[in-house]
Amino acid sequence: MFKSKKDSRQAVRFSRNGFRLRGNGRLNLAKIGDVRVRWSRSLPSAPSSVTVIRDPSGRYFASFVVQVEPEPLAPVTSEVGIDLGLTLYAVLSDGRVIDNPRFLRRAERRLRKAQQVLSRKVKGSRNRGKARLKVARAHARVADARRNWCHQSASRLVRDNQAVYLEDLAVSGLARTRMAKSVHDAAWGMFRRVLEDKAARYGRHVGIVSRWLPSSQTCSVCWVVDGTKPLHVRIWRCEGCGTEHDRDLNASRVILAAGQAERLNAPGGPVSPGVEIPHRARPVERGTHPKAQPVTTGSQAGIPAL
């Protein structure tokens, strides 16, 4: 049955008493019987439920819910800030870059031809159904390649760095601009979710800095905010210290400094990037009090007096 108007997949879920794993690798479903399964991996533990999903291209998937223990990786000292973009998918604070694969752009010609063939078919005919499947399969290949690339890239970042810092991009807002197709093709939201999931599993940290951080306007050397710059300006010189910056590399270094400062001072108030912190902020107990508290002036609630 359809679960959502926005999701064209069909799915049915079987609880613990509704399915069984046979010894020959087959899946037995209640009121259906044995189903042949092409296993992508072995199950790490006994599943508690299974969801059978049919996607628009006609493929069936069995998704099991299992208990997985954390697999922390050996600690490393490196941390990295990432500035996401469209020309280059990501620029890292250590100078490395990740090219934008542009899966949808590369497949546009094939998708356009399949869509043209579909538009010429008579509605309700069998040939139209076949053409619709060809369009769905072409889109599925693009989505699968993008998802696989996100997992591989996120795994490399999590394996090589103890902490990864990103900017909280307004993807839904950017998807309503003239760059909408490129923004959707980049899949920044998927990349962030995959990165956070892998970091939680392997004992790494992912920090998200505010989208209002002027990362493209702040000098990563002297921390002077140098003002707004149009998108075509890729290299600029700081008016405070005279350092020449690559726009994306400088932004990734500002994101790294801001993320490290927020992580260090998470229990307390915010801090400007690059400012030396003389002590670690102490956590403050917050909650309701049994008695009315006197009104205090000259101090901020929740911040301990030093």
pLDDT of residue 142: 96
Q: How crowded is residue 91: how many other Cβ atoms within 10 Å of its Cβ? A: 24
Q: How crowded is residue 226: how many other Cβ atoms within 10 Å of its Cβ? A: 18
Give the position of tokens 């499947």: 133
pLDDT of residue 53: 92
Active-site entry in 55, 167, 196, 226: 167
* 239 annotated active-site: no
pLDDT of residue 267: 56
Q: What pTM, to 2 d.p., does this model score? A: 0.80
Tokens describing residue 261 = 């400062």
pLDDT of residue 265: 76
* 168 annotated active-site: no
Active-site entry in 79, 185, 196, 248: 248
* 226 annotated active-site: no
Q: pLDDT of the chain along its 306 residues, tens only?
A: 445 666 667 899 999 899 999 888 899 999 999 999 999 888 989 999 999 999 989 999 999 999 988 889 999 999 999 999 999 999 999 999 999 999 999 999 999 999 999 999 999 999 999 999 999 999 999 999 999 999 999 999 999 999 999 999 989 898 898 999 999 999 999 999 999 999 999 999 999 999 999 998 899 999 999 888 888 889 989 888 888 999 999 999 999 999 999 888 765 444 454 444 444 444 444 444 444 444 433 333 333 333
pLDDT of residue 3: 57
Give the position of tokens 């690559």: 246
Q: How crowded is residue 147: how many other Cβ atoms within 10 Å of its Cβ? A: 14
Active-site entry in 55, 79, 83, 226: 83
